[in-house]
Amino acid sequence: MKNSIYLDGSKPTYKGNLHLHTDWSDGRLPAAKVVEVFKEKGYHFISISDHEVFTRTDEFNSDHFITIPGMERGGLNHVPDKDPGYHFGVIDDPTVEPEQERFGHLQPFLTPIPWTGEQSPQLLIDEMRAHGNLVVFNHPEWHLTRFDDMVNYHNFFAIEIYNHSTEWSTASSYGAAYWDHALQNGKRVFGIAADDSHGHYKNWKIPEYGGGWVQVQSEALTHYEIVKSLKEGRFYSSTGPEIHSLKVEEGQLKIECSPCKFIMFKAFPLRGPFLGKFDSGEPMTSASMPIDEEMTYIRVECIDFEGNVAWSNPVFVTDLLEEAQK
Ligand SMILES: [Zn+2]
Ligand SMILES: [Zn+2]
């Protein structure tokens, strides 16, 4: 089995939120204010993903903070204007040469998108891809998405596995079960935690901003390098804990993290261990498990003493087998 480094503790990482709204759609704050909010919270990048309007805001970019062009595209309700429907995160991908022209700043899109049959979500995904974008399957739990949609639809690179807005609004924020369903059916997709912040509460004591994020290992804080790392899965998602390193060494998957209560290896089809210092209750900062060649993927969740989670991306075991080497 090959050795492989997925997250290298010696390399820089950048914190970002890929899903949020401003007053360009149904958010309360203007983009410039939202940028300030995230800068103050120590973020390095955001994607302003307003509903049905694409944003491209280079004017907010500096050496220490960038905005990644994007939007949220949704609709496709079986019953017009009623949930459930489909929302997709759209992220401009500068690493590809698109078949069709890229979207421009404040380019509007018609809504609602009508449901014209089971092919509707796929047509929308493919249209976004043709214009040079990555697509994220947003908040599946909140949208009462069917589990098999994760298998039957294609060409999305990630599933939103934590959506902070739908956690405090309806306690339906976790998409990890959808993620596992996709992975167990052979999909190679990553998991993304995000805020989906709208800023609706003026005097909030419970913050809407900064609830879920991605931490991306990248060569540089640029649109190109961040998206390249996202596509390679060189990031983790979190609502609190940090993952410092993730690697395969001599047939063992090894993780290092900030102090956590549990470290859980989710492997399939052979279950991985759920580890904690149950007798002493002491925090854990590392763990490892042997990789069985019968496994298809392994991902790791690190859970802190407040119940916050860091999710690694999946390690695909077939990539590690010697015969996979060319
Ligand atoms: Zn949405
Ligand atoms: Zn949203």
* pLDDT the model gives residue 106: 98
Taking the centre of ligand 1 as the mean of its atom positions, its distance from the CA of residue 71, in whole angstroms, is 10
Taking the centre of ligand 1 as the mean of its atom positions, its distance from the CA of residue 35, in whole angstroms, is 20
* pLDDT the model gives residue 232: 97
Phi-psi region of 202 (alpha: psi -120 to 50; beta: other; left: phi over 0): alpha
pLDDT at residue 81 greater than cutoff 80: no
Q: Quick check: 110 and 91 in contact, CB under 8 A?
A: no
The token duo for 156 is 């999305």
Query: Quick one: which H or E segment has residue 32?
Result: helix 31-40
Fold: same for 11-239 and 244-326: no
pLDDT at residue 92 greater than cutoff 80: yes
Q: Residue 50: nearest ligand to its CA?
A: 2
SS3 126: helix
Q: Quick one: 32 exposed, middle or buried, by C-beta within 10 A (0-12, 13-18, 19+)? A: exposed
CATH for 244-326, options being 1.10.10, 2.40.170, 2.60.40, 3.40.50 = 2.60.40
Whether the bond into 290 is cis, omega within 30 of 0: no
Model confidence pLDDT, tens digit, residues 184-241: 999 999 999 999 999 877 767 777 899 999 999 999 999 999 999 999 999 999 999 9
Phi and psi at 318, nearest 5°, equal -60, -30
CA 33 to CA 72: how far, in whole Å?
Answer: 19
CA 185 to CA 175: how far, in whole Å?
Answer: 16
Q: Which long-range contacts (CB under 8 A, 24 or more apart) does 35-43 make?
A: 35/60, 35/65, 35/67, 37/209, 38/65, 38/209, 38/210, 39/65, 41/209, 41/210, 42/15, 43/15, 43/16, 43/17, 43/210, 43/213
CA 95 to CA 133: how far, in whole Å?
Answer: 10
Average pLDDT over residues 237-254: 98
Average pLDDT over residues 176-181: 97
What percentage of the chain reaches a pLDDT higher than 90?
Answer: 85
Taking the centre of ligand 2 as the mean of its atom positions, its distance from the CA of residue 137, in whole angstroms, is 11
Taking the centre of ligand 2 as the mean of its atom positions, its distance from the CA of residue 249, in whole angstroms, is 39
| Greatest pairwise CA separation for the chain in angstroms | 59
pLDDT at residue 77 greater than cutoff 90: no
The token duo for 186 is 């052979």
* pLDDT the model gives residue 291: 97
Q: Quick check: 162 and 239 in contact, CB under 8 A?
A: yes
pLDDT at residue 323 greater than cutoff 80: no
DSSP type of residue 185: T
Which pLDDT band, with edges at 50, 70 and 90, does 171 fall under?
confident
CA 289 to CA 169: how far, in whole Å?
Answer: 37
Q: Residue 27: nearest ligand to its CA?
A: 2
Taking the centre of ligand 2 as the mean of its atom positions, its distance from the CA of residue 72, in whole angstroms, is 6
The token duo for 135 is 């697509």
Percent of the chain that is helix, strand, coil (3-state, to 5): 20, 30, 50
**In angstroms, how far is the first alpha carbon of the chain from the final one?**
14
Q: Domain coordinates of the chain in residue numbers? A: 11-239, 244-326
* pLDDT the model gives residue 34: 96
* pLDDT the model gives residue 325: 53
Q: Residue 141: nearest ligand to its CA?
A: 1
The token duo for 200 is 């609706």
Taking the centre of ligand 2 as the mean of its atom positions, its distance from the CA of residue 151, in whole angstroms, is 23
- The number of CA neighbours under 13 Å toward the Cβ of 98 is 17
SS3 305: coil
CATH (residue range 11-239): 3.20.20.140
Mean of the per-residue pLDDT values of the chain: 94
